[in-house]
Structure 1
């Protein structure tokens, strides 16, 4: 229940931030950076259509696709995001345009909007529109979320040539790149963990600390020193980014000469990360949870 509340809060805050960037940076500068929002800006320039209404109505067929392909739970959260985003666009429509410098609007507007979208995606939802197509790519293909978003939104940006001149479209591409970069940054930051390799003469004490105090799984790997030819044990464990500094401090307290290799792990699945940790020992596990 707490996770659901957290998800809906992230979607709400992210949708609001995105709507603010949309109205205060993109609309008046004609930056059609992709997605249904980008199409809305193009349609507004061509036919004078209300951007919020266009985003709302264009989501209907895509929501049906979401229901049948992504499941009921994602559909429910996506319905909320697809509803609240155009509502926030309407509520923030009166905001003044922060800059009429199109380049600045593309870069900083893209960064703010990308941050908002990143929060929405962390909440396992989207603002509807082409975000649903991006989620389909994430589910059924190995393509990274940011890359699939760039591909789908790139098509929408290309359609901007119908409504705007080449300079405006190129600014829209800059905005799209800014959005994609920040979304990837936010997503990686949310899931970022550290995979740690430890070589120490006190590996038994370090293993005991990791399993019993840090409450993380650990793997022992047999190894032979390339220079000495002596057999030893290397420990491997994975911890969250926030846990790493404390873990390193305590390892060095046990053995100040410990050799530690830290590698980024941008996505970790399993107990203690994507699944709830289970403490009973399971014989068939490779990493026994402690």
Structure 2
């Protein structure tokens, strides 16, 4: 129950943030950044349709398709976000346009909407709209998810050429790229970790530092030098991105000639990361 309340809070907060960015930066500057929101801006210019009403009415048939073709579980996760988002758009409709500089609106609007959408995704939901279309294309066609998303958002941005000039559409593409970047950073950047492989003659001292001072697990691997043919020991450990600089400095202080390979690990599961450490049971014994 506590997790569900947290999810609802994230979806609600994300929808409010998105609506603020939509009304205060995108709508007044005609930025069509994909999705049903972007389509609403184009149709508002062409036909004078109210954006919040369009988003709500457009979501209703899409939710029916979601229920029929994607199943009850996906529908339940989607329905709240798809209803609260247009309500938030209507609630914030009176906000003034923060800037008439379309470049600034594209960048900062992209940051705000990307942040809001990231909160919605962290709440295990979505705002419906073209997200449902993307899921349908992915499930019932051989198209990969990224291509389905590109096609869906590309069609919406393409409609901008009918309603607006070329410069406006290019700014819309810039806004879409900003939104995508912010979402990716939110979904993986905050939990991003580093997988480090270390080869050093002083590996016992480095291993001791990692396990005792840094309080991280370490795996010891036997390796053979391809050039010399000599057997060596390689240490492998996974740490959070915030710990990297401290551990790198410590390793180089122990052995300034240590050979280190650092690789991004965007998702890590297990004790010490997604689960709390259990020192009685989860003692990582070097190989």
Give the shorter-chain TM-score range: 0.7 to 0.9
Q: Distance in 1 between matches of 2:2 and 2:54?
A: 33
1:190 aligns with: 190
User: Is residue 219–residue 235 contact of structure 1 (8 Å, CA) maintained in 2?
Assistant: yes
CA distances 1:225-246 after superposition (whole Å, capped 9, x unpaired): 3565431211222233234345
SS at match of 1:237: strand
Q: Distance in 2 between matches of 1:38 and 1:201?
A: 58
Q: Mean Cα displacement is larger for which, 188-197 or 91-100?
A: 188-197
CA shift for structure 1 position 202: 4.7
2:113 aligns with: 113
Cα RMSD (Å): 3.6
Q: Distance in 1 between matches of 2:166 and 2:117?
A: 26
SS at match of 2:190: helix
Q: Distance in 2 between matches of 1:214 and 1:135?
A: 42
SS at match of 1:197: strand
2:172 aligns with: 172
Going from structure 1 to structure 2, the CA distance change for 1:151 and 1:183 (only over 3 Å counts) comes to farther
User: Is residue 8–residue 77 contact of structure 1 (8 Å, CA) maintained in 2?
Assistant: no
CA shift for structure 1 position 223: 1.1
CA shift for structure 1 position 156: 0.7
CA distances 1:9-38 after superposition (whole Å, capped 9, x unpaired): 332222211111100111122222111011
SS at match of 2:198: strand
Going from structure 1 to structure 2, the CA distance change for 1:142 and 1:2 (only over 3 Å counts) comes to farther
What count of residue pairs does the alignment treat as equivalent? 283
1:1-290 to 2 correspondence within 5 Å?
Answer: 1-67=1-67, 72-134=72-134, 149-204=149-204, 206-207=206-207, 217-226=217-226, 229-245=229-245, 247-248=247-248, 258-266=258-266, 268=267, 270-272=269-271, 276=275
SS at match of 1:220: strand
Q: Distance in 2 between matches of 1:77 and 1:234?
A: 45
- In structure 2, list runs of 5 or more residues that go unmatched: none
Q: Distance in 2 between matches of 1:172 and 1:100?
A: 14
